[in-house]
Amino acid sequence: MIRRDLLLFAAGLPFQVTEGEHLRMTGQALGWTILRDRAPRPDAPETGMVLIRVQRPVPPASRPGHLAAMLQAFRPFHFPNLPAEEMVRLGGLPGTAIETRGMGIGSRQTVMVRAVCLYGRDRSFLLIASAPEAEWPALRPDVLRVMEGFRPG
């Protein structure tokens, strides 16, 4: 069996990511790599997912507040208040993370979101995970495993 993280790297993406117990890669669209819940309810207006996007590098002076600004402009969700960014390190890269409650714009459903921006010299990486608030406690450990398994190429 071919491991999914190796397959993603071989597909020409500048990163590796391992699927989770609940999250599997479903494709790419508009520059985003998409992992979705393996067993969503057919009638669910929101489902668990992780989105990953490669972006231009963010200069060190522009990093404070960068992730919050990205989330405020992220159209699928509305965030009334964002907590302070926390410092993280994933895949050998420094970054910032925010975990907060928001609202799905299309569904009007409350969701939990964990967003991470990793800052590399040649590019940055934006990882955004979300799930309906009621499903977040069950999906959060898997979301964290997927994010912690992220490796830049």
Digitized pLDDT (tens) for each residue of the chain, 153 residues in all: 344 554 444 355 678 888 778 787 878 887 788 787 777 677 777 888 889 999 999 999 999 999 999 999 988 899 988 999 999 999 999 999 999 999 998 889 999 999 999 999 999 999 999 999 999 999 999 999 999 988 887
Q: Provide CATH code, domain 4-152.
A: 3.40.1000.10
Task: Tell me which residue of 21, 67, 22, 40 sits closest to 132, measured CA to CA.
Answer: 40
Global pTM value: 0.85
**How is the chain split into domains, by residue range?**
4-152
